[in-house]
Amino acid sequence: MWLMSENIKGRVYDIQGYSVHDGPGIRTTVFLMGCPLTCLWCHSPESQNYDFQLSWFDMRCIGTVKCGLCINVCPNSALYEREPEKSLIDNSTITKINIDRSKCDNCLACTKVCPANALVPSGYDISLEDVFKRIIKDKKYYGKDGGVTISGGEPMEQFEFTYAIAKRCKESNLTVCVDTTGFAPGENYEKILPYVDLFLFDLKHMDPKRSRNFVGVDNELILENAKLIAKNGGKLQIRIPTIPKLNASMENMMKTADFCKDLGDAVTMIQLLPYHNMGTTKYLRIGLNYKLVNVDPPSDEEMQSYLDLMLSYDLPAQIH
């Protein structure tokens, strides 16, 4: 029997209460770190890497005149003062720091001394019990539809932990959603299925080659897993991030619709998620460049045309 220890730990980058966009009703969403995909539009880039990275929150820094502790502790001399600038808060002059990412080895020594939480690790380790305590705290607010969503990154990457959370929550009569890219071993989906009420399942591209270009992996495994979940009685909420120039085309939407049609009753809803570029500041925090600079959000009309298409297939669909 496949077993796990009760004091298993996992790695998360956030736990968010009152989530209303990650599955039905009011939920607490646990965001796990690590993802095998590298979607160009990813709006949580800090979650792609399982290893901790140094995150930088510029607004919080109180400057080297008042503080400067970080520069002194950096063993790699990766932190240095920038030119003085005007504070956006009170117009005073402030000297903040820059991070030389080529020297930084993410040792995180600076995060331990920064009093303002301007330098923080991109995530933290937490035990199953502590995650569960955080989730169960809000139980009275979940109602009959709400509960927990395990998201990421790709939560199936930390399969033992995800499995443990799902099982623990299900046993406490919470509804469980898993928000997945679909890119994980099929057997793991089969294992976790009894403890999952709904998979929030991303379908990003139906074309294998384009899938590779845009998300970094082939789509074959993803599509197989969707079918596997459906076959085994799991429920799927299909989520389609709709990115102009990448996957937002009638052709791709028609293929997606065909595919969803074949999944039958397993599909409870198709959510069309219009692309937004609100995640761009997160790239700066971890010293990366955002790659989709030339893409604008799709128009309402364009979104409506995809919705109409889905509805014409008699599929349950909505723009979210």
Q: Which residues bind another protein (CB under 8 A)?
A: 16-21, 24-26, 62, 66-67, 69, 115-117, 137-138, 140-141, 143, 146, 278, 318, 320
Measure Cα distances from 120 to 56, 107, 113, 288 in Å: 7, 11, 10, 16
- Rounded to a whole number of angstroms, the minimum distance from the CB of residue 154 to another protein is 19
Residues in the chain: 320
Contacting residues for 214 by C-beta, under 8 A, at least 6 apart: 39, 40, 204, 205, 243, 246, 247
Nearest CA among 248, 237, 260 for reference residue 318: 237
Q: Which residues on neighbouring strands pair with residue 318, listed in sequence order?
A: 271
216 φψ region: left (φ > 0), alpha (ψ -120 to 50), beta (else):
left
Q: Which is nearer to another protein, 138 or 207 (CB)?
A: 138
C-alpha 167/C-alpha 215 separation (Å) is 30
Phi, psi of 118 (to 5 degrees): -80, -35
- Residues 245-261 as b or e (16 or more Cβ within 10 Å = b): ebbbbeebbbebbebbe
